[in-house]
Amino acid sequence: MTREEKIGQMVQLAGEFYKEEDSENTGPMHEMNMSAEKMTTIGSVLGISGAQTLITIQKEHLAKSRLGIPLLFMADVIHGYRTIFPISLGMACTWNPDLIEESAVIAAKEAAVSGLHVTFAPMVDLVRDARWGRVMEATGEDPYLNQLYARAFVRGYQGKNLAIDTLRIAACIKHFAGYGAPVAGREYNTVELSERTLRDMYLPAYQAGIDEGSKLVMTAFNSLDGVPATANKSLMREMLRKELGFEGVLISDWASVGEMIPHGIAENLKEAGELAIEAGVDIEMMTGAYLNYLSELVDEGKVAESMIDEAVFRILTLKNELGLFENPYRGANSTEEKTIVFSSEHREKAREIAEESIVLLKNKEQVLPLTVHQKVALIVHEGQAKDVLGAWSWKGQQEESVSLYEGLLQHIPKEAIVLKTFVNGQTELDEDWLTDVDVIVAAIGESSYMSGEGASRSNIKLPSEQIQLIKELRTLNKPLVVTLFNGRPLDLTDIVQDVDSMLEAWFPGTEAGSAVANVLYGKKNPSGKLTMSFPKAVGQVPLYYNQDNTGRPLTALNQDDKYLSRYLDVDNSPLFPFGYGLSYTYFKYSPMQVTLTKSKKNQTDEVQIKLKITNSGKFAGTEVVQLYIRDKVGKVVRPIKELKRFKKVSLEPSESIVISFSLSEQDFEYVHQDFSVSVESGEFELMIGPNSEEVETNTVYLAFKRSE
Ligand code: BGC
C-alpha cells in the first residue's frame, strides 16, 4: 500500500460525500479538501444505510480502488434500527440482560441486511447527573448492572463469528473515557474525575464490553485530567490498550480530533492530527487532520510511519473479521431487507421489552390496573402523540409507531375513550365530557428533542404548562393516572401528590402505545425498576445511591443538626431511589439467612444468603430482588451501598420461592489509593430488598486472606 492508501483507510466520511451532487468544488468534499482521487482510498463511511444504496456505493468504490479494499459502513444503531426499542435507560429498567441482548440481535439483523457493518453502540458510560441529556443512552448509575448490560449488548450485536454470521454487526464501546460525568451535567463539558473513582466506578463497564470482544472503542469528546480524550496518550495507549487489553479499532468521536483546537491544546488541525495518532486513534471521524496532514507529519519526522501501519493493520483486521474481503456486500440484501426490517416478529419483541421497561412509580388506592368497563379520558399533547421513539431513533418512523390512543383501542372501544389534546397546557376541561368519565389518563413528559445528545437541561421539572394541567385535572376529582414519556429522571415533586398513579414509560419505541396500554390494563403487571435515582430537586443532582459517606452524614437521628452534609431546603434522599418500582401485586420478603463458608481455593470466607419471597397479592407478578453490600471500614471511603447481585422472579398469587445468592472475596474488592484492587477482612453489611432504600440489613465479619 502507498502511504496515501494507508492514510485513506484511517479516514471516515459521512454519507453525504457519496451523494451524486457532492463534488470537489462544492459541499462536504470541498470543505475537507477532498479530491475524487483521494476518495478511492477512503476506509469507512458513516450514517448512511439501505441495502441497494450501500451495495451501489461499495461496487463503485471497489471499481475505483486500486487495491480493491472494501469500505466499512457504520452508523448509530442505538436502541433499534427501524424497529425501535425503548431508549437504553428504559431498557435498563428491565433488569434483564437477556432481553437487552435480544434487542441487539434484532437491531443488528435489521442493520446488517440494510448494509451496515458496525454500530456505534453500546454507550456504556456510567451516569449520575440527570441534567445531562445523554443519560437516555446510558444504562444508569450502577457499575455492576452497567457491566452486565455492556456484555449483553456486545454479545447481541456481534454474535460469535462476524465473518460467518453476516446478520450481526461489530460493536463499538463508547465513549472512552468518562463522558458520562460532564461537570454540571452540561453536554461536552470538562470531566473532573479522580483516577481512583474512574477505575472503581466507570472502568468496569468499558472493561466488560472489551472482555466480551467489542471490535471497536470510541474516544470521548471531553477532556479528562486536562487532556481531551482523543489526544490522551496515557488513557489510550496505557489504560485502554495495555491495562484493559483492547486490541481492536479505536475511532474518534465526530470531529473530536478537530475539536482539540477550541479545546486549546492544538494550534491547528495538523497539530491535532499529530496528537490523535500519538494517542493511538486509528480512524478519524469527520475532520480532515489525517487526510490532509498525516503524510506531511511523517515527512517532517514528527510521526513514525509505523504508527500508520499499526492503525491500518487494525482496520484491515476488522474488515477481515467481518469477512469483507470475501464478501464486500456482506449481509446487504434488498429483497430480504423488505421482510426482515420492521417485521411483525421484531415489533412483538419491541413490545415485550417496552412492557418490561415500564416502571410503576405510584399506585394509590390501586387505581391501576384499569378495567375494560371504565370510560377513559385520555389527555395527550397535540404534537407528541407519536413522539415515542426517543432522540436516537435514526431510522425509526414516528408514523409507524403506536400511540397511546391506538394502544387503548386494543382494549376498549372508541366510544369508551374521550380524547383531549392539549398544547401549552390549554385544553377544554370544563365541558360535560367529564360527567361519565371514570378515570383520567394524562400522557405528559418531555419531547424527544429534550433529551439525547446536545440536550442538557438546568431545570429537570416537567414543563410548567404540564404541571398546571395536572393541577387542573386534579380539581376534577376523578382518579388521575399519569403516563410519563421522557428521557431522563425528572423532578416530579410538583405533581407527585396530585396524581393517583404514575407510570414511567420512558421513550418506549415503536410499540409504545401497545406496551403502555397492556400495563394500564394489567395484561402485563409492571416489573421495571429504576437504574437512575429520581431527585426531589435539581439541586441534589448529581444524585446516586452508591455515594460515599461523609464525615458528617445526615441520619434519622440527627435531622435537627445544621452542621451536617445536607441542604437547608431539601433532604438528601431521592424522590424515587435506584432499584425502585412497584407492581400491582405485593411481595413479602422473609428475613434473610446468612451462612459463612470457606472457599475451597484459598480458605477465605464466602457468604451464602437465602430468603423466601412470597407473592402476597392478587395478581401474578415479577419482582427484582436486590442484594447490596457495604464495607464498613475500608482503606478508602467506601460507598454506603453497592449492588452485588439481583434475581428477577415471577410468582403466581400466594406462590413462594426460595432464592439464594453467594458472594466471595472478589465481590468485595475495591480500588485502593495506589489503584491496587483488594479488600481487607472486617465487618460488612449485607442488604436485601425491593430497592436500594427499603432493605433488611445483616452485618457479618468476613476474613479474607488474599490481601493480608
Ligand atoms: C456522538 C457519538 C456518535 C457519533 C456519530 C457523536 O456526536 O457523540 O456517540 O456515535 O456522533 O454519529
Strand partners for 670 = 678
Lowest mean pLDDT among 26-30, 133-137, 489-493: 26-30
How far is 443 from 517, CA to CA, in rounded Å? 12
Give 547 Cα–ligand 1 centroid separation in angstroms: 29
Q: Whose CA is nearest to atom 10 of ligand 1?
A: 120
How far is 331 from 323, CA to CA, in rounded Å? 10
Give the type of residue at 96.
N
Residue 339, C-alpha cell as written in the block: 421482510
- Whether the per-residue pLDDT at 708 is higher than 50: the answer is no
Q: Which of 125, 253, 605, 631 is catalytic?
A: 253
253: Cβ below 6 Å to ligand 1?
yes
Mean pLDDT (whole number) for 498-502: 98
Find the helix or strand (DSSP H, E) in which 518 lies. Answer: helix 512-520
Closest CA to 70 of 85, 55, 81: 55
Using the CB atoms, write b or e for 221-259: b if 16+ within 10 Å.
bbbbbebbbbbbeebbeebbbeebebebbbbbbbebbbb
DSSP-derived secondary structure for 277-344: HHHT--BEESSSHHHHHHHHHHHTTSS-HHHHHHHHHHHHHHHHHTTTTT-TTTT--HHHHHHHTT-H
Q: Whose CA is nearest to atom 5 of ligand 1?
A: 254
Question: Sign of the C-alpha dihedral, residues 151, 532, 549, 555?
Answer: negative
Domains in the chain, CATH or no CATH each: 341-534 (3.40.50.1700), 587-707 (2.60.40.10)
Residue from 254, 257, 392, 456 whose mutation best tests the ligand 1 pocket (most atoms within 8 A of CB): 254
Mean pLDDT (whole number) for 440-451: 97
Give 606 Cα–ligand 1 centroid separation in angstroms: 43
Find the helix or strand (DSSP H, E) in which 596 lies. Answer: strand 593-598
Give 219 Cα–ligand 1 centroid separation in angstroms: 10
Q: Which atom of ligand 1 is nearest to the CA of 137?
A: 9
Closest CA to 445 of 493, 497, 386, 490: 490
Strand partners for 504 = 359, 484
Q: Whose CA is nearest to atom 11 of ligand 1?
A: 254
Q: Whose CA is nearest to atom 2 of ligand 1?
A: 253
Residue 504, C-alpha cell as written in the block: 414511567
Give 133 Cα–ligand 1 centroid separation in angstroms: 14
Q: Whose CA is nearest to atom 7 of ligand 1?
A: 254
259: Cβ below 6 Å to ligand 1?
no
Give 237 Cα–ligand 1 centroid separation in angstroms: 22
How far is 666 from 655, CA to CA, in rounded Å? 34
Give 297 Cα–ligand 1 centroid separation in angstroms: 27
134: Cβ below 6 Å to ligand 1?
no
Alpha carbon separation from 580 to 142, 527, 619, 624, 639 (Å, rounded): 13, 10, 19, 9, 19
120: Cβ below 6 Å to ligand 1?
yes
453: Cβ below 6 Å to ligand 1?
yes
- Whether the per-residue pLDDT at 345 is higher than 80: the answer is yes
How far is 284 from 555, CA to CA, in rounded Å? 51
Residue 136 main-chain phi, psi, to 5 deg: -65, -25
Q: Whose CA is nearest to atom 6 of ligand 1?
A: 254
Contact present, 149 and 162 (Cβ < 8 Å): no
Q: Which atom of ligand 1 is nearest to the CA of 174?
A: 9
pLDDT for res 149: 99
How far is 466 from 433, CA to CA, in rounded Å? 21
Beta strand pairing call for 44-46 and 72-75: parallel
Alpha carbon separation from 129 to 140, 541, 686 (Å, rounded): 10, 6, 27
Mean pLDDT (whole number) for 338-347: 98
Mean pLDDT (whole number) for 75-90: 98
How far is 72 from 58, CA to CA, in rounded Å? 9
Place of cell 474516544: 219
Give 120 Cα–ligand 1 centroid separation in angstroms: 7
Give 152 Cα–ligand 1 centroid separation in angstroms: 21
How far is 29 from 431, CA to CA, in rounded Å? 60
254: Cβ below 6 Å to ligand 1?
yes
- Whether the per-residue pLDDT at 382 is higher than 90: the answer is no
Q: Whose CA is nearest to atom 4 of ligand 1?
A: 254
Q: Render pLDDT for 425-437 as a digit per residue (tens, 0 to 9).
A: 676 666 677 889 9
Residue from 119, 120, 285, 287 whose mutation best tests the ligand 1 pocket (most atoms within 8 A of CB): 120
Give 175 Cα–ligand 1 centroid separation in angstroms: 9
Alpha carbon separation from 16 to 26, 64, 261, 679 (Å, rounded): 12, 18, 24, 53
pLDDT for res 24: 79
Mean pLDDT (whole number) for 545-565: 95
DSSP-derived secondary structure for 471-505: HHHHTT-S-EEEEEE-SS--B-HHHHTT-SEEEE-
Q: Render pLDDT for 273-290 as a digit per residue (tens, 0 to 9).
A: 999 999 999 999 999 999
- Whether the per-residue pLDDT at 650 is higher than 50: the answer is yes
Q: Helix crossing, 97-113 with 143-158: angle to 10°?
A: 30
Q: Which atom of ligand 1 is nearest to the CA of 221?
A: 8
Q: Please calculate the CA angle 490-495-500 and round it to the nearest 5 degrees.
A: 115
Find the helix or strand (DSSP H, E) in which 506 lies. Answer: none
Q: What is the mean pLDDT of the chain?
A: 96
Give the pLDDT band (50/70/90) at residue 588.
Answer: very high
Find the helix or strand (DSSP H, E) in which 562 lies. Answer: none
253 catalytically annotated? yes
Q: Whose CA is nearest to atom 12 of ligand 1?
A: 76
H helix runs in 114-259, sequence order: 143-158, 195-197, 203-211, 233
Residue 272, C-alpha cell as written in the block: 491535532
Closest CA to 516 of 362, 356, 648: 356
Closest CA to 162 of 360, 361, 327: 327
Give 75 Cα–ligand 1 centroid separation in angstroms: 9
Q: Render pLDDT for 296-332 as a digit per residue (tens, 0 to 9).
A: 999 999 999 999 999 999 999 999 999 999 999 999 9
Give 253 Cα–ligand 1 centroid separation in angstroms: 6
Q: Which atom of ligand 1 is nearest to the CA of 172?
A: 10
- Whether the per-residue pLDDT at 706 is higher than 70: the answer is no
Q: Which atom of ligand 1 is nearest to the CA of 285?
A: 5
Q: Whose CA is nearest to atom 8 of ligand 1?
A: 253
Contact present, 169 and 114 (Cβ < 8 Å): no
Reduced 3-state DSSP string for 417-442:
EEEEEEECCECCCCCHHHCCCCEEEE
pLDDT for res 429: 66
Give 658 Cα–ligand 1 centroid separation in angstroms: 45
Contact present, 684 and 630 (Cβ < 8 Å): yes
174: Cβ below 6 Å to ligand 1?
yes
Q: Render pLDDT for 223-274 as a digit per residue (tens, 0 to 9).
A: 999 999 999 999 999 999 999 999 999 999 999 999 999 999 999 999 999 9
pLDDT for res 430: 61
How far is 54 from 52, CA to CA, in rounded Å? 6
Give 204 Cα–ligand 1 centroid separation in angstroms: 22
How far is 250 from 624, CA to CA, in rounded Å? 37
Q: How many helices (H) and strands (E) does the chain have?
A: 21, 26
